[in-house]
Structure 1
Amino acid sequence: MRLENKLAIVTAAASGMGRAGVERFVREGARVAAIDISAPALEKLVTEFGSDKVVPIVADLSTADGARGSIDEAVSALGGADILWAHAGMPGPASVEDLDLGEYQKAMDLNVMSATVGAGQVAKHMRERGGGSIVFTASISGLVGSMMSPIYSAAKWAVVGLTKSLALALAGDNIRVNVVCPGLADTPMKAGFTGRSGDPAEAAANEAKVVSAVPMGRLVKAGEVADAVLWLVSDEATFVTGVALPVDGGFTAR
């Protein structure tokens, strides 16, 4: 098993890609602290995978206290940390015109602040264990501009920059830092990008537009992103750090 006896933390763990990551980490031998805002969804994880494998932690990661406290709680429950997948994020406002600064700040806090605080909080614990692996979730919108989601794109470019900077800063502590950059995924958050107006026809048209630009001709699946993260945190990637890995069916290859 690739993660045997490893102690892992996953944020936004109860649905979509995060949930797929929990499943793979457990399957490969890790014990996982699953952080999410939804207590009922976390309880479903525990029921499915067992309380010996999954520790549920309810937290609002859009607040500094939630981002910091959830990591401390996870480390305390697990007895340390070898892996952090900081996956929490949200689409944010669709336009910068008449921008609601409250919604803007919430998006920046969840996408950027929670990742930054989480990494800072977990790094000292990884250092004590001789190293570790941190993976962030960005997006293809962190590699190329997004017409539909400028705030999300700005946030995810920040996460990619954070990754590269921390990879340099933490390399001497044997802590690897990488980021996955998925394309539009077939997950519950998809509608937040394609259907902000609530019009199903608009959502379908936007999805079709995205798919037409993907050389492989479809959306990415949650499990495909989780598989990429599993590789990055495993000992199969021990000399990989500072990488922004697209999981996008060739979208950014142009």
Structure 2
Amino acid sequence: MRLEGKLAIVTAAASGMGRAGVERFVREGARVAAIDIDMAALSALVDTFGVDTVFPIRADLSREDDARDSIESAVAALGGADILWAHAGMPGPASVEDLDIAAYRKAIDLNVTSATIGAGQVIRHMRARGGGSIVFTSSVSGLVGSMMSPIYSAAKWAVVGLTKSLALALAPDNIRVNVVCPGLADTPMKVGFTGRSGDPAEAAANEAKLMAAVPMGRLVQAGEVADAVIWLSSNEASFVTGVALPVDGGFTAR
């Protein structure tokens, strides 16, 4: 097992990629603090993996206090922290015209601010254990522009910049910082990108348009992104830091 005895924190852990990550962290030998707003889904994780392996923490990570307190609660539950996967995010507004500023701020808070706070809170705990691995979730939209999701794209570019900057700053502490950049994923959040209007036909057309630009011709699966996070968190990636890793079927290779 690649992560035997490691202490991992996963945000947005209750569904989609986050849940797949919890499953893989456990399979690789880690104990996991799972942070999410959905307590019922967190309880289901505990039922699946056991009370001594997964520690549920309910938090609304768009709120500053919750973003800070949830990390401290996770560290207390685990007895330390070796790994943080800061995965929380949301699509945000589809246009900058007539911008709903409250929706904009929530998207920035969840995508960027919660990740920044989470990293800031966990660093001292990783230093105390001699190092660690921080993995953020960005998107292909953090590497190339998105005509459908400009606010999301702006937020995810910020996460890539945060990754590279922290990788430089924290290398002397043996804390590696990387970011995964998935393409359109087969998860519950997909419709937030392709079907904001609520029209199924529009959602299908948007998905087809996006898939036409993917050389491998399909959606990324949640487990494929989680597998990349496991590798970045493991000793197999011990000399890898500051990397924005696309998991996108070749979308950004053009």
Q: TM-score, structure 1 length as denominator?
A: 1.00
User: Deviations 1:47-105 (Å, cap 9, x if unpaired)?
Assistant: 01111110000000001101000000000010000000000000000000000110000
User: Deviations 1:3-53 (Å, cap 9, x if unpaired)?
Assistant: 000000000000000000000000000000000000000000000111111
Residues of 2 paired with 1:159 and 1:60: CA distance? 19
The aligned residue for residue 15 of structure 2 is 15
Residues of 1 paired with 2:210 and 2:44: CA distance? 32
Residues of 2 paired with 1:31 and 1:184: CA distance? 29
User: Deviations 1:129-180 (Å, cap 9, x if unpaired)?
Assistant: 0000000000000000000000000000000000000000000000000000
The aligned residue for residue 62 of structure 1 is 62
Residues of 1 paired with 2:66 and 2:60: CA distance? 5
CA shift for structure 1 position 238:
0.2
User: Deviations 1:193-247 (Å, cap 9, x if unpaired)?
Assistant: 0000000000000001111110000010000000000000000000000000000
Residue 224 (structure 1) aligned with residue 218 (structure 2): no
- Matched residue SS, 2:3: coil
Residues of 2 paired with 1:226 and 1:106: CA distance? 25
Residues of 2 paired with 1:117 and 1:61: CA distance? 10
| Mapping for residues 188-199 of structure 1, pairs under 5 Å | 188-199=188-199
The aligned residue for residue 171 of structure 2 is 171
Residues of 2 paired with 1:50 and 1:188: CA distance? 25
Residues of 1 paired with 2:14 and 2:63: CA distance? 19
**RMSD, aligned α-carbons:** 0.3
The aligned residue for residue 44 of structure 1 is 44
Residues of 1 paired with 2:135 and 2:20: CA distance? 15
Q: TM-score, structure 2 length as denominator?
A: 1.00
Residues of 1 paired with 2:199 and 2:50: CA distance? 40
- Matched residue SS, 2:147: coil
CA shift for structure 1 position 115:
0.2
Residue 180 (structure 1) aligned with residue 180 (structure 2): yes
**Moved segments of 4+, more than 3 Å:** none
- Matched residue SS, 1:184: coil
Q: Quick one: percent identity of the two aligned structures?
A: 84
Residue 113 (structure 1) aligned with residue 117 (structure 2): no
The aligned residue for residue 80 of structure 1 is 80
Residues of 2 paired with 1:234 and 1:43: CA distance? 27
| AA aligned opposite 2:157 | W
- Matched residue SS, 1:55: strand
Residues of 2 paired with 1:197 and 1:139: CA distance? 22
Instruction: Name structure 1 gaps, 5 residues minimum.
Output: none
Residues of 1 paired with 2:244 and 2:64: CA distance? 25
- Matched residue SS, 1:96: coil
